[in-house]
Amino acid sequence: MPTYTLEKSDLVPFIASLARRYYKVYAPVRSDVVRLQEVGSGENIDLTENTYLPPKDLFFGKRDVLFTFDGPAMALPLDTVGSRVLFGLRRCDLNAIAHQDLLYMQQRRDPIYAARREATVLIGYHCPSAPSPYCFCGSMELKECQDLMLMERPDYFLVETGSEKGEKFIRSLPRYFLTTFERPTEDDRRTPGTDRLATRDIAALFGNKLWEEGAKKCLSCGACTTLCPTCYCYEIHDEVELGDLDRGVRCRYWSSCQLREFTRVAGDYSFRDDRIDRFRHRIYHQMQYFRDRYGVNLCTGCGRCISFCPTRIDWVDIVNRMVSHASAS
């Protein structure tokens, strides 16, 4: 596919043009931290670091109404998603969206997720350097999952298209994009300092005693799963008014495998009652179980689960020491 340039001096009017043209535009903006927020112009965009929260909730909501019911009658919620643009997503978050596509669009089509996904243009921003010391995306064999990818140059962005949707987007805004013969190199696609993880294959490490080190520090607070761009555990609840139990809504809420009650069933039995089982399960689902089923790691190496863990559990370091000890023995 062809490549283009976008002048940095055009970034503010470009974002403003998007905000006029599209239903909503989201971009990283610094407040207390960098957050993905709806914007009307590009004046406050901050590309210096990754967003604190991933874009997950823009597709898989914290609370989604699955259907309403009134006695035996049921109704699906109306599709109110308009065209929108997510600007400045890092490769880790782009891949995370692609991995959730496997679940909610390819394995079985979820109408809520699919409507949001299909209405969205994804514009990526390639990290010229690691935005966090805990990033390990370079160890995860990430793919090109964007509609457009911006790679920074001194005075302009080199823009690479990744889909027909991206090409159509550029054709709709020709004044901002100039065709160029410049092509991204392999070095352009790498982010230095992100090859932290010694191995993606942790199958043989399940019984290693070092898992206990992380479990002892774990608070089972669920921060790691909330901040993870790929975690998708949820619970379903019916919500009714006490005065009319036949009428209400069925909702899907975020949940977490790190909560003891998540696997609790009738008889007060919990499948992962011990904290070490919950701690280890999340890592294995991210690194092993999902890959065994879908052929790709669920984890994309963003490092948020380490950066913002209240006790700063660096499970990547734990895995690396397991590998190191195994090699030495």
In this structure, are 225 and 184 located in the same domain?
Answer: no
Q: What are phi and psi of 238, to 5 degrees?
A: -95, 130
In this structure, are 126 and 219 located in the same domain?
Answer: no
In a domain, 216, yes or no: yes
Among 299, 18, 44, 37, smallest CA distance to 148 is for: 18
- Domain termination residue (choose one: 138, 161, 189): 189
In this structure, are 232 and 208 located in the same domain?
Answer: yes
In a domain, 20, yes or no: yes
In this structure, are 253 and 213 located in the same domain?
Answer: yes
How many structural domains does the chain have?
A: 2
User: What is the spatial distance between Cα 54 and Cα 283, in angstroms, rounded to a whole number?
Assistant: 18
User: Tens digits of per-residue pLDDT, 78-101?
Assistant: 767 889 999 999 999 999 999 999
In this structure, are 180 and 283 located in the same domain?
Answer: no
- Per-residue pLDDT band at 329 (split at 50, 70, 90): low
- Domain termination residue (choose one: 167, 189, 211): 189
Would you state the pLDDT for residue 90?
Answer: 97
User: Tens digits of per-residue pLDDT, 24-34?
Assistant: 999 999 999 99
Q: What are phi and psi of 272, to 5 degrees?
A: -130, 70
- Per-residue pLDDT band at 312 (split at 50, 70, 90): very high
- Per-residue pLDDT band at 327 (split at 50, 70, 90): confident
> What radius of gyration do the chain's Cα atoms show?
22
Proportion of the chain above pLDDT 70, given as a percent: 99
Among 129, 128, 171, 165, smallest CA distance to 146 is for: 165
Which structure tokens are listed for 19? 């905000």
Domain membership of residue 259 as a residue range: 203-318
In a domain, 152, yes or no: yes
Which structure tokens are listed for 154? 């001194």
In a domain, 198, yes or no: no
In a domain, 327, yes or no: no
Per-residue H/E/C for the chain: CCEEEEEHHHHHHHHHHHHHHCCEEEEEEECCCEEEEECCCCCCECCCCCCCCCHHHHCCCCEEEEEEEECCEEECCCCCCCCEEEEEECHHHHHHHHHHHHHHHHHCCCHHHHHHHHCEEEEEECCCCCCCCCCCHHHCCCCCCCCEEEEECCCEEEEEECCHHHHHHHHHCHHHCEEECCCCCHHHHCCCCCCCCCCCCCHHHCCCCCHHHHHHHCCCCCHHHHHCCCCCCEEEEEEEECCEEEEEEEEEEECCCCCHHHHEECCCEECCCCHHHHHHHHHHHHHHHHHHHHCCCCCCCCCHHHHCCCCCCCHHHHHHHHHHHHHHC
User: What is the spatial distance between Cα 64 and Cα 232, in angstroms, rounded to a whole number?
Assistant: 13
In this structure, are 173 and 210 located in the same domain?
Answer: no
In a domain, 168, yes or no: yes
In this structure, are 137 and 73 located in the same domain?
Answer: yes
Cα distances from 142 to residues 225, 276, 313, 316, in angstroms, run 20, 29, 24, 17
In a domain, 16, yes or no: yes
In a domain, 329, yes or no: no
User: Tens digits of per-residue pLDDT, 197-229?
Assistant: 999 999 999 999 999 999 999 999 999 999 999
In this structure, are 127 and 220 located in the same domain?
Answer: no
- The pTM for the full model equals 0.94
In this structure, are 103 and 154 located in the same domain?
Answer: yes
- Domain termination residue (choose one: 144, 159, 189): 189
Strand 73-75, strand 264-265: pairing: unpaired
In this structure, are 181 and 211 located in the same domain?
Answer: no
In this structure, are 255 and 290 located in the same domain?
Answer: yes
In this structure, are 126 and 267 located in the same domain?
Answer: no
User: Tens digits of per-residue pLDDT, 133-154?
Assistant: 999 999 999 999 999 999 999 9
The mean per-residue pLDDT over the stretch 15-32 comes to 91
